[in-house]
Structure 1
Protein backbone atom coordinates (compact mmCIF):
# COMPACT_ATOMS: atom_id res chain seq x y z
CA UNK A 1 0.00 0.00 0.00
CA UNK A 2 1.54 3.31 -1.10
CA UNK A 3 0.68 6.80 0.06
CA UNK A 4 0.92 8.14 -3.49
CA UNK A 5 -1.64 5.58 -4.71
CA UNK A 6 -4.06 6.61 -1.96
CA UNK A 7 -3.48 10.27 -2.81
CA UNK A 8 -4.12 9.68 -6.50
CA UNK A 9 -7.32 7.71 -5.89
CA UNK A 10 -8.81 10.23 -3.45
CA UNK A 11 -7.38 13.55 -4.70
CA UNK A 12 -10.72 14.99 -5.82
CA UNK A 13 -12.35 14.29 -2.46
CA UNK A 14 -9.35 15.72 -0.64
CA UNK A 15 -9.39 18.92 -2.72
CA UNK A 16 -13.08 19.36 -2.05
CA UNK A 17 -12.81 18.78 1.71
CA UNK A 18 -9.73 20.96 2.33
CA UNK A 19 -9.88 23.48 -0.50
CA UNK A 20 -9.54 26.47 1.84
CA UNK A 21 -6.66 24.98 3.83
CA UNK A 22 -4.40 23.61 1.09
CA UNK A 23 -1.35 25.87 0.74
CA UNK A 24 0.72 26.51 -2.35
CA UNK A 25 3.51 24.40 -0.88
CA UNK A 26 1.10 21.50 -0.39
CA UNK A 27 -0.14 21.74 -3.99
CA UNK A 28 3.44 21.71 -5.26
CA UNK A 29 4.20 18.66 -3.11
CA UNK A 30 1.09 16.85 -4.38
CA UNK A 31 1.97 17.58 -8.01
CA UNK A 32 5.54 16.37 -7.50
CA UNK A 33 4.51 13.16 -5.77
CA UNK A 34 1.88 12.27 -8.36
CA UNK A 35 4.42 12.98 -11.12
CA UNK A 36 7.19 10.98 -9.45
CA UNK A 37 8.69 8.45 -11.86
CA UNK A 38 5.86 9.08 -14.33
CA UNK A 39 6.50 12.64 -15.56
CA UNK A 40 8.44 12.64 -18.84
CA UNK A 41 9.64 16.24 -18.51
CA UNK A 42 13.10 14.97 -17.49
CA UNK A 43 14.26 11.43 -18.22
CA UNK A 44 17.43 9.44 -17.66
CA UNK A 45 18.87 7.96 -20.85
CA UNK A 46 20.39 4.46 -20.76
CA UNK A 47 22.22 2.47 -23.46
CA UNK A 48 23.05 -1.22 -23.53
CA UNK A 49 26.76 -2.05 -23.54
CA UNK A 50 26.26 -5.16 -25.68
CA UNK A 51 23.58 -4.23 -28.22
CA UNK A 52 22.03 -1.09 -29.72
CA UNK A 53 19.04 -0.90 -27.37
CA UNK A 54 18.42 2.43 -25.59
CA UNK A 55 15.75 3.35 -23.05
CA UNK A 56 14.50 6.49 -21.28
CA UNK A 57 13.24 6.31 -17.70
CA UNK A 58 11.23 9.03 -15.90
CA UNK A 59 13.10 10.57 -12.97
CA UNK A 60 12.07 10.70 -9.35
CA UNK A 61 10.45 13.98 -8.35
CA UNK A 62 13.06 14.69 -5.67
CA UNK A 63 10.55 16.47 -3.41
CA UNK A 64 11.48 16.24 0.26
CA UNK A 65 7.93 15.20 1.17
CA UNK A 66 7.84 12.30 -1.29
CA UNK A 67 8.06 8.86 0.37
CA UNK A 68 9.66 7.37 -2.78
CA UNK A 69 12.60 9.79 -2.99
CA UNK A 70 15.53 11.17 -1.08
CA UNK A 71 17.20 7.97 0.15
CA UNK A 72 20.54 9.14 -1.20
CA UNK A 73 19.92 12.63 0.20
CA UNK A 74 19.50 11.14 3.66
CA UNK A 75 22.63 9.03 3.21
CA UNK A 76 24.66 12.04 2.05
CA UNK A 77 23.51 14.08 5.05
CA UNK A 78 24.41 11.29 7.47
CA UNK A 79 27.84 10.89 5.89
CA UNK A 80 28.55 14.61 6.19
CA UNK A 81 27.37 14.67 9.80
CA UNK A 82 29.46 11.60 10.62
CA UNK A 83 32.57 13.42 9.43
CA UNK A 84 31.82 16.08 12.07
CA UNK A 85 31.39 13.65 14.96
CA UNK A 86 33.66 14.08 17.97
CA UNK A 87 34.70 11.16 20.19
CA UNK A 88 32.77 12.53 23.16
CA UNK A 89 29.41 12.01 24.79
CA UNK A 90 26.38 13.67 23.18
CA UNK A 91 23.12 15.17 24.40
CA UNK A 92 19.84 15.76 22.65
CA UNK A 93 17.98 18.92 23.61
CA UNK A 94 14.38 19.19 22.39
CA UNK A 95 12.42 22.46 22.33
CA UNK A 96 8.66 21.94 21.93
CA UNK A 97 6.13 24.54 20.84
CA UNK A 98 3.18 24.60 23.30
CA UNK A 99 -0.21 23.42 22.08
CA UNK A 100 -1.69 26.90 22.46
CA UNK A 101 0.76 28.38 19.91
CA UNK A 102 0.43 25.68 17.27
CA UNK A 103 -2.49 27.37 15.53
CA UNK A 104 -0.17 30.35 14.93
CA UNK A 105 2.52 28.06 13.52
CA UNK A 106 -0.01 26.43 11.20
CA UNK A 107 -1.13 29.75 9.74
CA UNK A 108 2.31 31.41 9.72
CA UNK A 109 4.72 28.47 9.49
CA UNK A 110 7.71 30.24 7.99
CA UNK A 111 7.80 33.01 10.60
CA UNK A 112 7.09 30.59 13.44
CA UNK A 113 9.69 28.01 12.50
CA UNK A 114 12.36 30.66 11.89
CA UNK A 115 11.61 32.12 15.32
CA UNK A 116 11.82 28.68 16.94
CA UNK A 117 15.24 28.05 15.40
CA UNK A 118 16.75 31.45 16.22
CA UNK A 119 15.46 31.54 19.80
CA UNK A 120 16.36 27.94 20.66
CA UNK A 121 19.88 28.40 19.25
CA UNK A 122 20.36 31.61 21.23
CA UNK A 123 19.27 29.82 24.42
CA UNK A 124 21.79 27.01 23.93
CA UNK A 125 24.61 29.45 23.18
CA UNK A 126 23.76 31.53 26.26
CA UNK A 127 23.69 28.49 28.56
CA UNK A 128 27.00 27.25 27.18
CA UNK A 129 28.63 30.66 27.63
CA UNK A 130 27.43 30.93 31.24
CA UNK A 131 28.30 27.34 32.14
CA UNK A 132 31.11 26.91 34.68
CA UNK A 133 32.24 23.72 32.95
CA UNK A 134 32.06 25.01 29.40
CA UNK A 135 32.38 28.71 28.74
CA UNK A 136 33.87 28.24 25.28
CA UNK A 137 32.36 27.82 21.82
CA UNK A 138 29.98 24.92 21.35
CA UNK A 139 28.52 23.29 18.28
CA UNK A 140 25.15 21.73 17.64
CA UNK A 141 22.84 20.60 14.85
CA UNK A 142 19.10 21.31 14.89
CA UNK A 143 16.40 19.38 13.03
CA UNK A 144 12.80 20.56 12.82
CA UNK A 145 10.10 17.91 13.20
CA UNK A 146 6.46 18.97 12.86
CA UNK A 147 4.75 15.80 14.06
CA UNK A 148 4.71 13.23 16.81
CA UNK A 149 4.64 9.47 16.26
CA UNK A 150 0.88 9.52 15.70
CA UNK A 151 1.57 12.12 12.97
CA UNK A 152 -0.44 14.81 14.75
CA UNK A 153 0.77 18.39 14.35
CA UNK A 154 3.45 18.80 17.02
CA UNK A 155 6.27 21.24 16.07
CA UNK A 156 9.54 20.73 17.92
CA UNK A 157 13.26 21.03 17.25
CA UNK A 158 15.83 18.41 18.21
CA UNK A 159 19.36 19.62 18.81
CA UNK A 160 22.23 17.17 19.05
CA UNK A 161 25.15 18.70 20.93
CA UNK A 162 28.60 17.35 21.92
CA UNK A 163 29.29 17.49 25.65
CA UNK A 164 32.10 20.00 25.55
CA UNK A 165 33.33 23.32 24.19
CA UNK A 166 36.44 24.82 22.64
CA UNK A 167 38.39 27.65 24.24
CA UNK A 168 40.09 29.46 21.36
CA UNK A 169 42.25 31.62 23.64
CA UNK A 170 43.75 28.57 25.38
CA UNK A 171 43.44 26.29 22.34
CA UNK A 172 41.80 23.78 24.67
CA UNK A 173 38.83 21.40 24.57
CA UNK A 174 36.71 21.72 27.70
CA UNK A 175 34.89 18.50 28.56
CA UNK A 176 31.51 18.63 30.23
CA UNK A 177 31.46 16.38 33.28
CA UNK A 178 28.57 14.77 35.05
CA UNK A 179 25.27 13.30 33.89
CA UNK A 180 23.63 16.57 32.90
CA UNK A 181 24.54 19.19 30.33
CA UNK A 182 22.00 21.94 31.15
CA UNK A 183 19.09 22.15 33.56
CA UNK A 184 15.96 21.41 31.50
CA UNK A 185 13.66 23.52 33.70
CA UNK A 186 15.91 26.56 33.34
CA UNK A 187 16.13 25.98 29.59
CA UNK A 188 12.32 25.92 29.41
CA UNK A 189 11.98 29.16 31.37
CA UNK A 190 14.34 31.09 29.11
CA UNK A 191 12.88 29.43 25.96
CA UNK A 192 9.42 30.63 26.95
CA UNK A 193 10.45 34.20 27.70
CA UNK A 194 12.57 34.69 24.57
CA UNK A 195 10.15 33.08 22.13
CA UNK A 196 7.17 35.08 23.39
CA UNK A 197 9.24 38.25 23.10
CA UNK A 198 10.28 37.33 19.56
CA UNK A 199 6.71 36.62 18.47
CA UNK A 200 5.17 39.73 19.98
CA UNK A 201 7.82 42.44 19.72
CA UNK A 202 9.68 41.51 16.53
CA UNK A 203 7.03 39.68 14.53
CA UNK A 204 3.95 41.52 15.86
CA UNK A 205 2.02 38.29 16.29
CA UNK A 206 -1.07 38.38 18.49
CA UNK A 207 -0.84 35.69 21.15
CA UNK A 208 -3.80 33.71 22.58
CA UNK A 209 -5.15 34.82 25.95
CA UNK A 210 -4.26 31.65 27.81
CA UNK A 211 -0.74 30.24 27.68
CA UNK A 212 0.74 27.45 29.81
CA UNK A 213 2.90 28.53 32.73
CA UNK A 214 5.34 25.67 32.23
CA UNK A 215 6.87 24.90 28.85
CA UNK A 216 8.63 21.67 27.87
CA UNK A 217 12.31 21.31 27.05
CA UNK A 218 14.07 17.94 27.32
CA UNK A 219 17.81 17.52 27.74
CA UNK A 220 18.79 13.87 27.49
CA UNK A 221 22.11 12.06 27.42
CA UNK A 222 22.23 9.95 24.23
CA UNK A 223 25.72 8.45 24.41
CA UNK A 224 27.65 8.60 21.15
CA UNK A 225 26.46 10.86 18.36
CA UNK A 226 25.75 8.44 15.51
CA UNK A 227 22.58 6.81 16.95
CA UNK A 228 21.13 10.27 17.57
CA UNK A 229 21.93 11.35 14.02
CA UNK A 230 20.20 8.28 12.62
CA UNK A 231 17.14 9.07 14.74
CA UNK A 232 17.05 12.65 13.44
CA UNK A 233 17.35 11.49 9.84
CA UNK A 234 14.42 9.07 10.11
CA UNK A 235 11.85 11.54 8.81
CA UNK A 236 14.26 14.10 7.43
CA UNK A 237 14.11 13.40 3.70
CA UNK A 238 11.81 10.38 3.44
CA UNK A 239 8.40 11.89 3.93
CA UNK A 240 6.25 11.88 7.04
CA UNK A 241 4.97 8.30 6.83
CA UNK A 242 6.90 5.43 5.18
CA UNK A 243 4.81 3.27 2.87
CA UNK A 244 5.77 0.18 4.87
CA UNK A 245 3.82 1.55 7.84
CA UNK A 246 0.54 1.87 5.91
CA UNK A 247 -1.43 -1.30 6.64
CA UNK A 248 -4.69 -0.97 4.71
CA UNK A 249 -6.99 1.26 2.67
CA UNK A 250 -10.43 -0.36 2.87
CA UNK A 251 -13.96 1.08 2.72
CA UNK A 252 -12.81 4.69 2.99
CA UNK A 253 -10.58 4.01 6.01
CA UNK A 254 -6.78 4.01 6.14
CA UNK A 255 -4.84 2.28 8.91
CA UNK A 256 -1.18 2.77 9.70
CA UNK A 257 1.12 1.59 12.45
CA UNK A 258 3.37 3.61 14.74
CA UNK A 259 5.43 3.07 17.86
CA UNK A 260 3.92 4.55 20.99
CA UNK A 261 6.46 6.83 22.68
CA UNK A 262 5.38 5.84 26.20
CA UNK A 263 4.83 2.08 26.02
CA UNK A 264 7.32 1.48 23.15
CA UNK A 265 4.74 -0.86 21.64
CA UNK A 266 3.39 -0.86 18.09
CA UNK A 267 -0.08 0.62 17.77
CA UNK A 268 -2.49 1.09 14.88
CA UNK A 269 -4.34 4.28 14.02
CA UNK A 270 -7.30 4.34 11.62
CA UNK A 271 -8.75 7.44 9.96
CA UNK A 272 -11.13 8.30 7.15
CA UNK A 273 -9.07 8.44 3.95
CA UNK A 274 -9.46 12.17 3.39
CA UNK A 275 -8.52 12.92 7.02
CA UNK A 276 -5.54 10.61 6.67
CA UNK A 277 -4.32 12.54 3.64
CA UNK A 278 -4.62 15.81 5.54
CA UNK A 279 -2.83 14.30 8.54
CA UNK A 280 0.20 13.67 6.34
CA UNK A 281 0.08 16.66 3.98
CA UNK A 282 -0.27 19.26 6.74
CA UNK A 283 3.41 18.64 7.48
CA UNK A 284 4.63 19.91 4.09
CA UNK A 285 7.06 22.73 4.86
CA UNK A 286 7.12 26.13 3.14
CA UNK A 287 9.34 26.15 0.07
CA UNK A 288 12.91 27.12 0.85
CA UNK A 289 12.67 26.60 4.61
CA UNK A 290 15.76 24.82 5.92
CA UNK A 291 14.69 22.20 8.42
CA UNK A 292 18.30 21.24 9.29
CA UNK A 293 20.78 23.81 10.57
CA UNK A 294 24.32 23.64 11.95
CA UNK A 295 25.65 26.09 14.52
CA UNK A 296 28.99 27.02 16.06
CA UNK A 297 31.68 24.36 15.76
CA UNK A 298 29.49 22.24 13.47
CA UNK A 299 29.09 24.93 10.80
CA UNK A 300 30.84 24.44 7.50
CA UNK A 301 33.05 27.49 8.16
CA UNK A 302 34.44 25.83 11.32
CA UNK A 303 35.88 22.81 9.54
CA UNK A 304 39.52 23.59 10.35
CA UNK A 305 38.80 24.16 14.04
CA UNK A 306 36.73 20.99 14.15
CA UNK A 307 39.54 18.93 12.59
CA UNK A 308 41.95 20.45 15.09
CA UNK A 309 39.69 19.35 17.95
CA UNK A 310 39.41 15.86 16.47
CA UNK A 311 43.19 15.61 16.26
CA UNK A 312 43.65 16.89 19.83
CA UNK A 313 41.20 14.31 21.15
CA UNK A 314 42.88 11.58 19.11
CA UNK A 315 46.28 12.44 20.53
CA UNK A 316 44.74 12.41 24.00
CA UNK A 317 43.68 8.83 23.41
CA UNK A 318 40.01 9.33 22.61
CA UNK A 319 40.45 7.73 19.17
CA UNK A 320 42.53 4.68 18.21
CA UNK A 321 43.82 6.26 15.02
CA UNK A 322 43.31 9.21 12.74
CA UNK A 323 44.22 9.42 9.07
CA UNK A 324 43.82 12.98 7.75
CA UNK A 325 40.61 13.52 9.69
CA UNK A 326 38.20 11.60 11.85
CA UNK A 327 37.65 8.15 10.40
CA UNK A 328 34.03 7.04 10.30
CA UNK A 329 32.42 4.31 8.21
CA UNK A 330 30.45 5.65 5.27
CA UNK A 331 26.85 4.62 4.81
CA UNK A 332 26.02 2.86 1.57
CA UNK A 333 24.35 4.78 -1.20
CA UNK A 334 21.68 3.22 -3.36
CA UNK A 335 23.23 2.31 -6.72
CA UNK A 336 20.86 2.05 -9.67
CA UNK A 337 21.63 -0.85 -12.02
CA UNK A 338 19.54 -1.47 -15.13
CA UNK A 339 19.48 -4.57 -17.32
CA UNK A 340 18.82 -4.52 -21.07
CA UNK A 341 15.42 -6.07 -21.84
CA UNK A 342 16.79 -7.48 -25.11
CA UNK A 343 20.02 -9.23 -24.18
CA UNK A 344 19.89 -9.04 -20.33
CA UNK A 345 23.29 -7.32 -20.23
CA UNK A 346 24.11 -4.26 -18.08
CA UNK A 347 23.07 -0.86 -19.37
CA UNK A 348 25.11 2.33 -19.03
CA UNK A 349 23.75 5.67 -17.81
CA UNK A 350 24.21 8.24 -20.61
CA UNK A 351 22.77 11.39 -19.04
CA UNK A 352 19.59 13.37 -18.46
CA UNK A 353 17.27 14.42 -21.29
CA UNK A 354 15.04 17.48 -20.98
CA UNK A 355 11.78 17.05 -22.83
CA UNK A 356 8.83 19.35 -23.34
CA UNK A 357 6.96 19.86 -20.08
CA UNK A 358 3.72 17.84 -20.16
CA UNK A 359 0.47 19.64 -19.45
CA UNK A 360 -1.40 18.73 -16.28
CA UNK A 361 -5.02 19.06 -15.31
CA UNK A 362 -4.31 17.64 -11.90
CA UNK A 363 -5.65 20.60 -9.97
CA UNK A 364 -8.74 22.62 -10.54
CA UNK A 365 -8.38 24.82 -7.50
Structure 2
Protein backbone atom coordinates (compact mmCIF):
# COMPACT_ATOMS: atom_id res chain seq x y z
CA UNK A 1 0.00 0.00 0.00
CA UNK A 2 1.41 3.41 -0.94
CA UNK A 3 2.38 5.96 1.71
CA UNK A 4 -0.19 8.43 0.36
CA UNK A 5 -2.97 5.88 0.62
CA UNK A 6 -1.97 5.03 4.20
CA UNK A 7 -2.04 8.75 5.10
CA UNK A 8 -5.43 9.15 3.45
CA UNK A 9 -6.83 6.15 5.33
CA UNK A 10 -5.49 7.52 8.63
CA UNK A 11 -7.16 10.85 7.89
CA UNK A 12 -10.49 9.21 7.04
CA UNK A 13 -10.41 7.08 10.20
CA UNK A 14 -9.52 10.10 12.37
CA UNK A 15 -12.15 12.21 10.63
CA UNK A 16 -14.80 9.53 11.20
CA UNK A 17 -13.81 9.25 14.88
CA UNK A 18 -14.08 13.02 15.23
CA UNK A 19 -17.55 13.04 13.71
CA UNK A 20 -18.74 10.26 16.01
CA UNK A 21 -17.38 11.94 19.15
CA UNK A 22 -18.61 15.39 18.19
CA UNK A 23 -15.04 16.68 17.87
CA UNK A 24 -14.59 16.62 21.66
CA UNK A 25 -11.21 14.85 21.36
CA UNK A 26 -9.69 17.62 19.25
CA UNK A 27 -7.78 19.97 21.51
CA UNK A 28 -6.72 22.59 18.98
CA UNK A 29 -9.53 25.12 18.33
CA UNK A 30 -8.37 25.76 14.76
CA UNK A 31 -8.42 22.04 13.90
CA UNK A 32 -11.81 21.65 15.55
CA UNK A 33 -13.18 24.51 13.43
CA UNK A 34 -11.73 23.00 10.23
CA UNK A 35 -13.31 19.60 10.93
CA UNK A 36 -16.68 21.22 11.65
CA UNK A 37 -16.56 23.20 8.41
CA UNK A 38 -15.63 20.13 6.37
CA UNK A 39 -18.50 18.10 7.79
CA UNK A 40 -21.00 20.88 7.11
CA UNK A 41 -19.85 21.70 3.58
CA UNK A 42 -22.76 21.70 1.11
CA UNK A 43 -25.32 21.05 3.84
CA UNK A 44 -28.24 23.10 5.16
CA UNK A 45 -26.06 24.09 8.13
CA UNK A 46 -24.05 26.33 5.79
CA UNK A 47 -27.20 27.94 4.46
CA UNK A 48 -28.67 27.71 0.99
CA UNK A 49 -30.27 29.67 -1.77
CA UNK A 50 -33.25 28.85 -3.91
CA UNK A 51 -33.04 28.77 -7.68
CA UNK A 52 -36.24 29.21 -9.62
CA UNK A 53 -36.87 28.77 -13.32
CA UNK A 54 -36.94 32.08 -15.20
CA UNK A 55 -40.09 30.99 -17.03
CA UNK A 56 -43.01 32.44 -15.04
CA UNK A 57 -45.19 29.46 -15.98
CA UNK A 58 -42.68 26.96 -14.62
CA UNK A 59 -42.82 26.22 -10.91
CA UNK A 60 -39.58 24.26 -10.79
CA UNK A 61 -37.33 25.21 -7.88
CA UNK A 62 -33.98 23.90 -6.83
CA UNK A 63 -32.11 24.46 -3.57
CA UNK A 64 -28.37 24.82 -3.59
CA UNK A 65 -26.44 24.48 -0.34
CA UNK A 66 -23.53 26.81 0.34
CA UNK A 67 -20.01 25.51 0.60
CA UNK A 68 -17.70 25.96 3.57
CA UNK A 69 -15.03 27.88 1.66
CA UNK A 70 -12.29 26.32 3.77
CA UNK A 71 -8.89 25.90 2.12
CA UNK A 72 -8.58 22.36 3.51
CA UNK A 73 -11.81 21.22 1.88
CA UNK A 74 -11.26 19.21 -1.31
CA UNK A 75 -14.35 20.83 -2.88
CA UNK A 76 -13.78 24.41 -1.82
CA UNK A 77 -10.02 24.72 -1.60
CA UNK A 78 -9.03 22.43 -4.44
CA UNK A 79 -9.56 24.90 -7.27
CA UNK A 80 -7.81 27.75 -5.45
CA UNK A 81 -4.90 25.46 -4.59
CA UNK A 82 -4.49 24.36 -8.21
CA UNK A 83 -4.69 27.98 -9.37
CA UNK A 84 -2.04 28.97 -6.81
CA UNK A 85 0.25 26.17 -8.01
CA UNK A 86 -0.16 27.25 -11.64
CA UNK A 87 0.54 30.88 -10.69
CA UNK A 88 3.71 29.88 -8.83
CA UNK A 89 4.90 27.70 -11.73
CA UNK A 90 4.64 30.69 -14.05
CA UNK A 91 7.01 32.62 -11.74
CA UNK A 92 9.78 30.01 -11.82
CA UNK A 93 13.05 31.00 -13.41
CA UNK A 94 14.68 28.67 -15.94
CA UNK A 95 17.24 27.29 -13.49
CA UNK A 96 17.82 24.35 -11.17
CA UNK A 97 15.94 24.29 -7.90
CA UNK A 98 16.66 22.47 -4.69
CA UNK A 99 13.90 21.69 -2.24
CA UNK A 100 15.17 21.83 1.34
CA UNK A 101 12.93 20.87 4.26
CA UNK A 102 13.43 21.85 7.88
CA UNK A 103 11.16 20.12 10.37
CA UNK A 104 10.19 20.57 13.98
CA UNK A 105 10.63 17.53 16.24
CA UNK A 106 7.35 15.86 17.18
CA UNK A 107 8.07 16.55 20.85
CA UNK A 108 7.69 20.29 20.18
CA UNK A 109 4.26 20.02 18.51
CA UNK A 110 2.31 21.12 21.59
CA UNK A 111 4.61 24.09 22.16
CA UNK A 112 4.44 24.99 18.48
CA UNK A 113 0.65 24.82 18.29
CA UNK A 114 0.36 27.13 21.28
CA UNK A 115 2.96 29.60 20.00
CA UNK A 116 2.77 29.31 16.22
CA UNK A 117 4.05 32.73 15.24
CA UNK A 118 7.03 32.68 17.59
CA UNK A 119 7.99 29.09 16.81
CA UNK A 120 7.70 29.45 13.04
CA UNK A 121 9.56 32.76 13.14
CA UNK A 122 12.37 30.95 14.97
CA UNK A 123 12.28 28.03 12.55
CA UNK A 124 12.46 30.28 9.48
CA UNK A 125 15.18 32.46 11.01
CA UNK A 126 17.33 29.44 11.92
CA UNK A 127 16.68 27.78 8.55
CA UNK A 128 17.58 30.90 6.58
CA UNK A 129 20.72 31.44 8.65
CA UNK A 130 21.82 27.84 8.11
CA UNK A 131 21.20 27.91 4.35
CA UNK A 132 22.84 31.30 3.83
CA UNK A 133 25.88 30.39 5.92
CA UNK A 134 26.47 27.05 4.21
CA UNK A 135 25.77 28.39 0.72
CA UNK A 136 28.29 31.25 1.07
CA UNK A 137 31.04 28.75 1.87
CA UNK A 138 32.92 27.86 -1.33
CA UNK A 139 33.18 24.30 -0.05
CA UNK A 140 29.41 23.93 -0.49
CA UNK A 141 28.14 26.40 -3.08
CA UNK A 142 30.01 29.70 -2.93
CA UNK A 143 26.91 31.72 -3.72
CA UNK A 144 23.91 33.42 -2.17
CA UNK A 145 20.75 31.35 -2.61
CA UNK A 146 17.24 32.62 -3.09
CA UNK A 147 14.94 31.41 -0.33
CA UNK A 148 11.16 31.06 -0.48
CA UNK A 149 9.78 30.20 2.96
CA UNK A 150 6.79 27.91 3.02
CA UNK A 151 4.98 26.41 5.98
CA UNK A 152 3.01 23.18 5.67
CA UNK A 153 1.28 21.98 8.79
CA UNK A 154 0.29 18.41 9.41
CA UNK A 155 1.32 15.05 10.72
CA UNK A 156 3.45 13.31 8.11
CA UNK A 157 3.99 10.07 10.01
Shift in Å at residue 126 of structure 1? 4.1
Q: What are the ranges of 5 or more consecutive residues in structure 2 without an aligned counterpart?
A: 1-8
SS for the counterpart of 2:27 is coil
Shift in Å at residue 47 of structure 1? 5.5
1:80 is matched with which residue? Answer: 87
Shift in Å at residue 107 of structure 1? 4.0
Superposition TM-score, scaled by structure 2 size: 0.65
1:11 is matched with which residue? Answer: 21
| CA root-mean-square deviation | 3.5
Alignment of 1:1-365 (within 5 A): 3=12, 6-7=16-17, 9-12=19-22, 15=24, 18=25, 22-39=27-44, 41-43=46-48, 46=51, 52=58, 53-128=60-135, 130-132=136-138, 133=141, 135-136=143-144, 138-148=146-156, 150=157
Task: Give the structure with the larger strand fraction.
Answer: 1
Q: Is the 8 A contact 1:8 1:34 kept in 2?
A: no
- Return closer, same or farther for 1:100/1:47 CA change in 2, 3 Å cut-off: same
Superposition TM-score, scaled by structure 1 size: 0.32
> Does 1 or 2 have the higher relative contact order (CA < 8 Å, sep 6+)?
1
- Return closer, same or farther for 1:96/1:56 CA change in 2, 3 Å cut-off: same
Q: For the residues of structure 2 that align with 1:50 and 1:7, how far apart are their CA atoms?
A: 47
Larger Rg: 1
Task: Give the structure with the larger helix fraction.
Answer: 2
Count of paired positions? 143
Q: For the residues of structure 2 that align with 1:31 and 1:143, how far apart are their CA atoms?
A: 23
1:244 is matched with which residue? Answer: none
